[in-house]
A = this chain, B = another copy of it.
Amino acid sequence: MNRWPIPDPMARALDAARTAADQGEVPIGAVVMRGDEVIAVAANRTRQPPDPTGHAEIIALRAAAEKLGSERLTGCDLHVTLEPCAMCAGAISHARIARLYYAAPDPKGGAVEHGARVFEQAQCLHAPEVYSGMGEDEASEMLRAFFRERR
């Protein structure tokens, strides 16, 4: 039996996650796409330089806004290897991302299908369509291996 191949944007996000792990950063990657065009690729980077907001999603959204010359990324999609936290879900809403794809759910820190459920709040001015699961095994195993090595 063959597994359905991981779509190219999520494969790129997983590649970015791998580069984060190589640098001692938590292996999470994110990609902003506009149709078939890659707009920005980023990996978590909270340690060097020290930045409590340096999640892959935040870095990718900032780079995409700079590249496109607009704080609103209307029509863009975000692919990320882990369910976004409250900070990142809020940023995704501010950026008007059309579709959010994430690989692995995160019961401990996620704020999409867990906890703060940012997009489900009445106050949320823009909620993306949300899809999850594609690439979940790869994303989860990378995180498990990273934290296993550091215990």
Q: Hey, which bits of chain A sit against chain B, CB under 8 A?
A: 46-47, 49-54, 58, 61-62, 65-66, 68-73, 85-91, 93-96, 107-111, 114-118, 121-125
Contact = CB atoms under 8 A, between A and B. Distances in A.
SS of A interface (majority): loop
Given A109-B123, A118-B116, A123-B115, A51 B73 contact: no
A151 to B, nearest CB: 17
User: How many copies, total?
Assistant: 2
B91 A52 contact: yes
Contacts of A110: 123
Nearest to A95: B52
Nearest to A50: B71
A9 to B, nearest CB: 19
B66 A52 contact: no
Contacts of A87: 86-91, 93-94
Contact of A69 (B50, B54, B66, B108): B50
Q: Most B CB atoms within 10 A — which of A53, A95, A123?
A: A53
